[in-house]
Amino acid sequence: MDSSSSSFPSSSISSTNQWTYDVFLSFNGEDTRHNATDFLHFALKQKGIYTFKDDQKLERGKNIELELFKAIKESRFAVVILSKNYASSTWCLNELVEIINCEKKTGMTVVPIFYNVDPSDVRKQMGTFAPAFVQHEKQFKEKVGTWRATLSHVANIAGFHVNNSPFSETIESIVRLILHKSSYEFAEVTEGLVGMDSRVVELESCLALWLKDNVRFIGIWAMGGMGKTTLASVAYQMFSKEFEASCFIDNVRQKDVLSLQKELISQILNEANLNIKNRFDGVSMIKKILCHKKTLLVLDDVNEFDQLKMLAWKHDWFGLGSRIIITTRDKRLLQEYLVDKICEVKAFNYEDARYLFCLKAFKKKHVPNEYLGLSQDILKYAGGLPLALDILGSFLSGRSMSQWKNALEMLKESPETKINQVLKISFDGLHESVKELFLDIACFFNREVKDHAIHILEILGRYPCIGLSILIEKSLLKISQNNKLWMHDLLEDMGRSIVRQKYPDEPGKCSRLWLYKDIDHVLRNNMVRGYLLELIPYLLIQQS
């Protein structure tokens, strides 16, 4: 161990025997050794975070690569500074491959810093990363595929983007993050929660708690069941002690404004019996109480603009350093509200999805061999949605393989009720014409080329240009990179279920037909009536 470790306080986070180092720093010395990396290393050392930095820790006379890989395996965190020339170093690339292997095998937390590079360039090996790979293709063809896959993987991990901005701010956030995640308190707060590390990294970056002299409004946005409330709750428990006042209001959607105001003020003042005559009286009281207090306020599941106007309308309602977190399914609401940053909660990656499902279905970390195929089918069906993984894993726990097979067939016919109820909240809030558009996409146009779908939907009078934008804002639809409509499979199943529910045993009466067997049944049984003429464009779609 480096002699400088003797200067670390006794509370150094490496006090456990599981790790030799707290942090392994991966960087390209040409870009960062005498600025970014040195500053970060110094800040980590100051806080008692024992960090491996190759120019200080490698022993002379030993195999450097073996020493590096040993240090990676013995580190709890890896901070990877992805700079312009990072990919030009085969040393860095091999180091990164080992880091990602450890992430998958030992649970190492990887924190990427995109240092004056675009994450999409890292993901696709474009921009300054492209020339490096032109050379690698000539000399190291057998390794290039692994390097590319590793860079794509690390680019999808939530991290910090430093683009001509003060690196000191990012350093403070990284140090704070590592201290939080290494503490007993963090372990307690996140116990049993899968995939929380990268989500907390991204949210903490958005919160920018190091900025003491301003007020920031942060939106957490995603479709239902993605874990917005869980993330906001973890952040609240982690950071609330750093504020003078704190308040967490859940299920905002289900409460009237006056009740919400009373709940907010009651939590701040710790007083139950409040005399608030009306919502305007409530606004005045909120401003008066909080305008000089550094406040952490979480408004969970907001769906109406008016709720925000009456609870947290302007930055100057709150004292300097305040943070207001809003979770919602509606991106438009956040954009109109002019939040400082929107943090999108994304679906679990395969590793996290499998891990959560295994914990719920088998009460352990790995899938028994005989259930491998069936588990893959369930994971594909859940599509990385934490709610679905949790509910389906718990439902299938302790059941036989034949019951699993039956359950899969049943789910294809009729989606799981609890999952459907959560997803359907977003659908129920749509305008009637947008509901029809949603059902069209669920039944016919999911994964269709956007322009082709719009052309047909315009013929059907569905107002697709405005309708698609609304569905995207409501987290019900995305446009893929190859310009196709993309709806989560569970949302697609929900939409089709809504159509089928009206006439489950009489497909000829349904507003939409998408299964060949139903179309064949209707036509063979001479069930074409007046109302079926409306289905002709849809039937033609199936033949195209």
CA distance 512 to 435: 13
Q: What is the DSSP letter of 270?
A: T
Among candidate residues 30, 74, 95, 142, the one labeled active-site is: 95
CA distance 205 to 157: 13
Give the closest residue to 541 by CA, choosing from 470, 471, 446, 467: 446
CA distance 53 to 37: 9
Give the residue ranges of DSSP H helices in 414-488.
Answer: 417-428, 432-440, 450-459, 464-473
Give the closest residue to 274 by CA, choosing from 266, 284, 286, 283: 266
User: One-letter amino acid identity for 445?
Assistant: F
- Residue 211's CB is within 10 A of a number of other CB atoms, namely 15
DSSP sequence for 78-99: EEEEE-TTGGG-HHHHHHHHHH
**Tokens of residue 488, six digits:** 């989560």
Secondary structure of 362-406 in HEC code, one letter for each residue:
HCCCCCCHHHHHHHHHHHHHHCCCHHHHHHHHHHHCCCCHHHHHH
| 98 labelled catalytic | no
CA distance 479 to 255: 33
CA 304 to chain centre: 23
Give the closest residue to 196 by CA, choosing from 257, 237, 142, 161: 237
Active-site annotation, residues: 95
